Amino acid sequence: MTETNRIEYKRELTDGLEKEVIAFLNYREGGVLYIGVDKEGNTYGLADADSDQLKIKDRLKNNIRPSALGLFDIVSEERDRKNILKIIVASGPEKPYHLKKYGMSEKGCFIRLGSAAEPMPQKMIDELFAKRTRNSISKIKAGRQDLSFSQLKIYYEEAGYTLGTAFAKNMELLTEDGAFNYAGYLLADKNNTSIKVAKYSGKTRTDLIESNEYGHECLVKATKQVIDKIAVENRTATKITAKERQQVNLWHPIALREAIINAFVHNDYTNEITPKFEIFTDRIEITSAGGLPEGLSKQEFFEGFSVPRNKELMRIFKDLELVEQLGSGIPRILEHYGKESFSFSDNFLRMTFMAKETALEEGGQISSVMGGLKGGQIGGQIEKTIDAISELTLRQKQVLKLIAKDNRISRSGIAEVLHINESAIQKHLNNLKDAGYIERQGGTRGYWEINLDKN
């Protein structure tokens, strides 16, 4: 593959790295740099890719303004049995980006022209600066300043990081005058951000049978809670023959998870509107505020060109491995759902995923895989009973809810829904058995018996 307007090769790490990255930040489609590959596309590899990766991150953090954190991703890859680095650069929302050393001048600003990074004319610099987006969550001062971040610190510790005393500044949670910004407010332990997951008995919003409210806490925690809640809703069982019982996901779990995270990360919070999640008998709808980012077409959106609306959130979600890499979410969804699943307006983006088709049950009875939702009121009561058991952890409650929905669900099936390994699931099952909430009947081909009235 040769160099293009979106692909740049460098045989080794050189002084011109920042220039190339700035050119992609200022380009409407972003781009990708490969380090360890020459101009003809031949792989040379890097002697110490890990060390180079740290150097690149440090240089891009310190030498580019406005901050590019959250707008680039460094991925280690192996090609021809040699280690190379792939730097994915998103189109930045605060153009023009420039070298800190030279400021917003023709010597400091660059733009991608063909397969080269060229100095940006002063007229273009002035025009871009005049249009720079100022109404972003990083520039809006939080309505309250008595914020704490113990939940966020715990998530970072679980990911192997330690947040120092200057974390708010380093993570761009402060305004230019040192006050907490709206990004900090969203990530704080307490806020007034409400996230709703609604469930209806039919195909319309006429009969609401369950309404769950999350939020008022760190946005990362709220995201994980919504993922877990919808994962519980995303499983039912359908009997295909008298001898087999097939586990069926209503929606593809990977695509669904990507859609949920995408709604949180790219939502426009500047008007204090939050993502909305609605479950119907035939579909799930995920709605986020904000249409397409400025300058991004629908085609570019579907091709995975990344223009992060909230780079501060993107960076944190990437640190915590909720986001795999820049631009990967939409292509992963499109592997399982068509473009018709996306609906755009000036102010909103809605993703609609239809449930799986009906299946023939034992005895010839036709039953939709969404049939379980007909018992939503009963199921909702069981979930409330489980939620009220104070001695159980959140994860144990999730496992118990899945068993309540399908008493033949396997350990691997639970692990797939909750996105954790089977050994961890086994520990939760053992704890639930020891506490008397479940008992296995019939061995490996049997079922779970639940006892919620053990006391």
Tell which wins on pLDDT, 296 or 340: 340
Return the structure tokens found at 149: 């971040």
pLDDT level of residue 241 (50, 70, 90 thresholds): very low
pLDDT at 415 over 90: no
DSSP 423: H
What residue ranges in 201-268 does DSSP mark as E strands?
208-215, 236-239, 245-248
* CA-based nearest residue to 92, from 118, 67, 113: 67
Q: Helix, strand, coil shares of the chain as percentages rounded to 5?
A: 35, 20, 45
pLDDT level of residue 134 (50, 70, 90 thresholds): low
Question: What's the pLDDT at 412?
Answer: 76
The residue to which tokens 């990083």 are assigned: 138
pLDDT (average), residues 343-368? 70
Q: What is the dihedral of CA 195, 201, 205, 211, to 10 degrees?
A: -20
pLDDT at 141 over 80: yes
pLDDT at 153 over 80: yes
Lowest mean pLDDT across 243-252, 319-328, 353-362, 405-414: 353-362
The residue to which tokens 């473009």 are assigned: 339
Residues in the chain: 455
Contacts from 115-119 at CB under 8 Å and sequence distance 24+? 115/2, 115/3, 115/4, 115/5, 115/7, 115/8, 117/8, 117/16, 117/19, 117/20, 117/22, 117/23, 118/23
Best mean pLDDT range from 81-90, 247-256, 289-298, 411-420: 81-90
pLDDT level of residue 371 (50, 70, 90 thresholds): very low
- Spatial distance between the Cα atoms of 31 and 26, rounded to a whole number of angstroms: 10
Residue type, 273: I
* DSSP three-state, residue 390: coil
Question: What's the pLDDT at 74?
Answer: 93
pLDDT (average), residues 378-392? 80
pLDDT at 362 over 50: no
Question: What's the pLDDT at 367?
Answer: 44
Contact 248, 358 (CB under 8 A): no
Return the structure tokens found at 65: 């303004």
Cα 254–Cα 72–Cα 322 angle in degrees, nearest 5 = 30
- Spatial distance between the Cα atoms of 429 and 17, rounded to a whole number of angstroms: 51
The residue to which tokens 């991703």 are assigned: 73
Residues ≥6 apart with Cβ < 8 Å to 331: 303, 304
Return the structure tokens found at 440: 């296995």
